Amino acid sequence: MKTELEQKLTSGKIKDFCINNAIVLVLISLIIFIAIREPSFLSLRNLRNILTMSATRLIIALGVAGILITGGTDLSAGRSVGLAAVLSSSLLQSQDYPRRMYENLPSLPLIIPVLIAITVCGMVGLANGIIVSKLKVPPFIATLGSMVAVYGITSIYFDRPPYGAQPIGGLNSSFSALGTGFIGPNGLFSLPYIVLIAAFIAVLMWVVYNKTRLGKNVYAIGGNSEAARVSGVNVVKTLITVYIIGSALYGLGGTLEAARTGGATNNYGNGYELDAIAACVVGGVSVSGGVGTVGGVVVGVLIFSVINYGLTFINVNPYWQQIIKGLIIVAAVAIDIRKYLARR
Amino acid sequence: MEPSEYVLEMENITKSFPGVKALDGVILRVRAGTVHALVGENGAGKSTLMKCLFGMYDRDDGTIKMNGEEVSFTDAKDALKRGIAMIHQELSPVKDQTVMENMWLGRYPEKKILGIPFINNKAMYNDTIEAFRGLGLDINPKVKVRYLSVSKIQMLEIAKACSMNAKIIIMDEPSSSLTQNEVDQLFSIIKELRKKGVAIIYISHKMDEILKISNEVTIMRDGKYIGTWESNKLTTDFIISKMVGRDLSNRFPPRHNTPAENLLEVGGLCSAERNSFNNVSFNLRKGEILGISGLVGAKRSELVESIFGLRPLKSGQIKIDGKKVRIKNSIDAIDAKMALLTEERRVTGIFPMLSIADNTLITNWKKYLSKAGLIRSKQGIADVDESIKQLRVKTPSCLTRIRNLSGGNQQKVLFGRWLLTEPEILLLDEPTRGIDVGTKYEIYSIIADLAAKGKSIIMISSEMSELLGMSDRIMVMCNGRATGILDGKTATQEAIMTLATQFEQTKENEKEAILA
């Protein structure tokens, strides 16, 4: 009798553990699956490549995550990435590149264009925040509007004399180094800058979400915005701040992505918002708000990178990869939501 | 007694969750055409018992019989098919659809035109009128549910259950948001239902109602069956003593507060919202408990929410300590040392997914910031633990999600949240709504204690005994006006009712204007 009860209890515990850590288990089983098919997958080189791929995606996803936790969403993320990429690349073309956007522009210190890109994106976030919090436009609509408008702005900036619409290339060496450089010896143990930057941002955002009043207010607004208003939370200010932080992170992500890939066009970043939102929800961020962790977002981003990189590594047809990604998005959320459903 | 007399028999119902025995051999036998009250403190297992009945929980042991025949339901829909319906405490109609659409939701009468089924609005209207007439209800079937009062929505739900031929209707705290004459209306409907042979399981914390309406009372405590009695042989004190397992000689704690000088002065306050309160003036003294009574729709909540800056004001002034203040939002109100415990705990009070600690600290983070702007959680947690201890919140830890607590314990956490802001003026809107008797007493003690410490308290309540038992003065409102202020010691239920029903002549016209 007793052992039976004990068995029941422990099996319940295993089930609970699986449900509570579903996304980590998905990640681990993915890796195991790929490693069985191709043992050479488990190498430091592949690990570094996956981390490099994940870095900018993580920064963008962390920006969207805060907005999702408030119960909002941000469709303008991808286009903001494109805006930042075009802006920063156009200001950081190498002096000897023949078709520069600004022929007389002197070589700028790296930080200035990066800050310009982040600030301009931050202004998009400010607009989003005001439209959502003051004008009470639903976030989906507000950011759908800014997504479309930002693409227009990027295109106007991009498609100009003297050379018209043409990819912005020939980035100067310091900018390229930001995207592709690394510290440590050139070899197995090197760490790319962008991975370090992403790690720093992840830690920073963890602190913001867990250790500041802003972070606590974000969870409160997402959990129950009416109660937040009654409890003395400045809902308008918090929302605007969260949208600004999000957009600033897209700005940073877009800049780094341009540096990593060596250029940009006005179409850059298209669809990144959906990748970021997908990574967040797979990582346990609730689209209805109030729930989500930085750790979860990190795992969510890694899952998609492992799928992209790992499945290509074992030669899975890219169309099949799309199907697998789609299934994982739905399955991860279906499992995750079990945490909150009433138990029988 | 023949077994066939019972329309429902639940025998020896037992249900365990890991670590707790939620139900332990509970018995509930309900006769046709009677009202059977089910009472017990929150956590006594009433809801669990109902969930076992509806098949939402799988019971470990016990049998359920309807009309002597063993049954087992898989869900509420299945139960409804067999004639059992539940009117929930929190009603959730489709607000932007009409009364009749809600009534026939999912089973609209149809007519075929060219073989294609269309909804038959005329039949739906007539059927609704018919169903309402049978219960003596007066609701326009074509009005959107959004414009109905809570009590009307509840009556709609009851009518809906009847139209599905329910033989047993379970009402969970049906009167918790009703005023006295709405409760009277509910009772007359219940009488109609009884005439039709419908059995009613009436779950409530309100003793006077139970004694008035029920034929039998089943009492539960800590998941155990205590007993079933005929109501006419019971007294309030007896029921309470069985519920809590001890004697509760007094329902209200002694008060030792002495109202001193004026702290809050409200003059000529008019709401900027349509059909709200107008020209309300009153004062609140230091260490005073001012009750506010009135029927639903008297705009009591709107008044306190406006004072707290959550709703716009058109004119009038608010003075604190003789100084005029302008409160535009809750942040200003908190700075002015005010606190507001709202009526709808779930809608405007708790953050269900957050811990007790986060729920308590949300208004108070300012106190726990380091110079760098980071939260010093250790100190916050220590204060939350202290508040949990002081207010006797029953929880394994302050990191437990608040949604896992009972209503009474959630309310205590909300008290803790506001007490931590060290307020001088507490606006309490139905502070004991949906809370069991034992916890109610604790809440009263907290309130009495605060007043004794010189805090000023405004308490809105729809329970008259509570207002009479707790208030130094009682302000009565009717249809957006303050119709009088009574002394708490000499006030009577009759005097309050008279003031609460002092409607203006134009009232009926206005009402029609709202509905039109």
Q: Which residue type is seen at B259?
A: P
Which of helix, strand or coil describes residue B220? strand
Q: Chain B: give the shortest CA distance to residue A340, in Å.
A: 9
> ipTM more than 0.90?
no
Name the residue range of residue A179's domain.
55-270
Measured at the CA of B482, the angle between CA B481 and CA B488, to 5 degrees, comes to: 155
Look at residues B200, B199, B201, B239 and name the one whose alpha carbon lies nearest to residue B220: B239
Look at residues A295, A299, A288, A294 and name the one whose alpha carbon lies nearest to residue A340: A288
Assigned domain for A95 exists:
yes
Instruction: Name which of A210, A212, A220 is nearest B373 (Cβ-Cβ).
Output: A212
Rounded distance between C-alpha atoms, residue B248 and residue A278, angstroms? 57
Domains of chain B (ranges, CATH numbers):
3-244 (3.40.50.300), 262-515 (3.40.50.300)
- Lookup result for tokens 């896992």: B404
Rounded distance between C-alpha atoms, residue B330 and residue B418, angstroms? 12
Give the whole-number percent of chain B exceeding pLDDT 90.
47
The CA-atom distances, in angstroms, between B330 and each of B18, B85, B333 are 42, 41, 5
Assigned domain for A235 exists:
yes
Interchain contact, A207 vs B374, CB within 8 Å: yes
Assigned domain for A298 exists:
no
Q: pLDDT tens, A100-140? A: 888 888 888 999 999 999 999 999 999 999 999 999 999 99
Provide the residue-wise pLDDT of chain A in tens; the chain has 344 residues: 445 555 555 556 777 777 777 788 888 988 999 999 989 999 988 999 999 999 999 999 999 999 999 999 999 999 999 999 999 999 999 888 888 888 888 888 999 999 999 999 999 999 999 999 999 999 999 999 999 999 999 999 999 877 888 889 889 999 999 988 888 877 667 889 999 999 999 999 999 999 999 999 999 999 999 999 999 999 999 999 999 999 999 999 999 999 999 989 999 999 999 999 999 999 989 888 899 999 999 999 999 999 999 999 999 999 999 999 999 889 888 877 777 765 44
- Lookup result for tokens 């043409």: A166
Interchain contact, A223 vs B352, CB within 8 Å: yes
User: If you measure CA to CA, which chain B residue comes closest to A223?
Assistant: B351
pLDDT for residue B63 is more than 60: yes
Assigned domain for A5 exists:
no
Look at residues A83, A28, A91 and name the one whose alpha carbon lies nearest to residue A273: A83
Q: Which residue type is seen at A282?
A: V
Instruction: Name which of B347, B374, B375 is nearest A226 (Cβ-Cβ).
Output: B347
Rounded distance between C-alpha atoms, residue A164 and residue A307, angstroms? 37
Print burial letters for B127-159: b (CB count within 10 Å at least 16), e (below 16): bbeebbebbebebbbebbbeebebbbbbbbbbb
Q: pLDDT tens, B385-442? A: 999 998 988 888 899 899 888 888 899 999 999 999 999 999 999 998 877 777 888 8
Structure tokens given for B197: 């042979």
Assigned domain for A24 exists:
no
What is the distance, to the nearest Å, from the Cα of residue B426 to the centroid of all Cα atoms in its chain? 20
User: Mean pLDDT, to the nearest integer, of B67-96?
Assistant: 86
Which of helix, strand or coil describes residue B301? helix
Q: Which of A231, A336, A337, A340 to mutate to test the interface with B (most CBs of B within 10 A)?
A: A231
Structure tokens given for B212: 């008035």
Interchain contact, B374 vs A211, CB within 8 Å: yes
Assigned domain for A102 exists:
yes
Interchain contact, B58 vs A344, CB within 8 Å: yes
Assigned domain for A341 exists:
no
Count up the domains in chain A and report the number: 1
Which of helix, strand or coil describes residue B426? strand
Assigned domain for A98 exists:
yes
**Residue B466, CB half-sphere, CA atoms under 13 Å: how many?**
26
User: If you measure CA to CA, which chain B residue comes closest to A5?
Assistant: B18
